[in-house]
Amino acid sequence: MMERFKTIAASQRAILCEVLFCLALLAVFVPLKGYPLVFLLASLVFFFDTPRLLRHPWVWFLSVFTGYASFVFLAGLPADQREMTNFLKLPINFTYLYFAVGWSAQRDNTRLLRWVDITLHIALGLSLLQLLVYHQAAGFRWLDGAPTSAQGSALYRPSLYFWGLDDKNMFGARIALLGFAYVLLPIVRRQAIVWWRVVAVLLLAWLSLSRTPLVALFLGLFALLWMAANVRWRVVLAVAALAALPFVAEKVVRIDTITASNDGMGVRLVYWKAFFQHFFAISPLGNGFMAGKDFLGRYAAFYHGEPHIHNTFLSCYLDFGIIGFVAYVLFLVYFFRFCGQQQPNRAFWAVAWLPLLAIMMILYSGYDNDIILYLGVILMLGSARSIDLKVLKWRVA
């Protein structure tokens, strides 16, 4: 079969690869978890359409992280179903990232940019429909925001779930990352900031009732506008940000309840406090795969059953110790450098990475699908052409 694939015309192979790249973006939204098969098939096809395999420091550090995490998992067997499912994300997601990046970094992605744009139209459009279904079942009483984090989470009824996720924070984070990529697309394709996209993505984030996407998007959009603005408009931006601060603190951050035990941020603060107060209870080699359950159950002032500590980097250290933590951080550092080597778009790369890093500080385990997909998409975007944020056009549509 592989010999037959090699004989397919290069143009047909390219189309197949581009279709699979777009399908991978959609597959993670579907309740039927078939995305691992899509990721593996896409990786195989990318491999045969890639002229030269990547050999870059980020690849080696990612290999060290994956290998050590696999060793930690195998050393802790037997595992329950949840642990096994999360472990399988490691080789599948990182294999997909390696081959997707190696493939897209060595080709002309003009057509792929257009197809990804259409794909994100579909993904975010169906996300809006899913959120409206959730809100309709709740009588639309939380359109102006949920009073508490717990009430926001109650919006997500598993029986109504048909697209995205039935978890408030994870769905919100996915909206933020792919939504920000959706805003960046016309910057790459037409050197323009399209305002209706900005408004649409912020609306989706608001309807998700999660603080995570709103905070990440505010940071990313503010950085984007700041980089694109001249001195006069930067003053306007700064004044607008200060004026919006009370609204953001009350309605978005929900500052009044931020330390409550039923508030998502309050839970995070308790978990992080437990991590640092009992830092020396963590083995330098790591406490084991998905060790958050035992650690937080023992040391946190209260524990709500999560398998992780709501911070990518703290989770890496807790589970995989110094080796896993250092390898993962160096993977990100060298991947960022690799991005800069494709195109010297330093301002663009900084803006594109900001929402991801913001979300990683309060969510994710390090090998989640959304991180992998976002890294693949922004690499494809930023390497497409030289981008000067100072000469962007401002368009309504």
Rg (CA), the chain: 21
Cα-based distances in Å from 239 to 195, 244, 264: 20, 9, 29
CB-based contact 219:180 (threshold 8 Å): no
Residues in the chain: 397
Q: What residues contact 162, with CB distance under 8 A and at least 6 apart? A: 31, 130, 133
CB-based contact 394:195 (threshold 8 Å): yes
pLDDT at 2: 54
Q: What residues contact 331, with CB distance under 8 A and at least 6 apart? A: 58, 61, 62, 65
Distance CA 28, CA 178 (A): 12
CB-based contact 134:155 (threshold 8 Å): yes
pLDDT tens track, the chain, 397 positions: 555 555 566 778 899 999 999 999 999 999 998 999 999 999 999 999 998 999 999 999 999 999 999 999 999 887 788 888 889 999 999 999 999 999 999 999 999 999 999 999 999 999 999 999 999 999 999 888 877 777 888 899 999 999 998 889 899 999 999 999 999 999 999 999 999 999 999 999 999 998 888 889 999 999 999 998 888 889 998 998 888 888 777 767 677 666 666 667 788 889 999 999 999 999 999 999 999 889 999 999 888 888 788 899 999 999 999 999 999 999 999 999 999 999 888 999 999 999 999 999 988 887 889 999 999 999 999 999 888 888 888 887 6
**Cβ-based neighbour number of residue 193 at 10 Å:** 20
pLDDT at 259: 66
pLDDT at 7: 57
Distance CA 366, CA 313 (A): 8
3-state SS, residue 28 = coil
CB-based contact 56:338 (threshold 8 Å): yes
Residue 78 preceded by cis peptide, ω within 30: yes
pLDDT at 351: 96
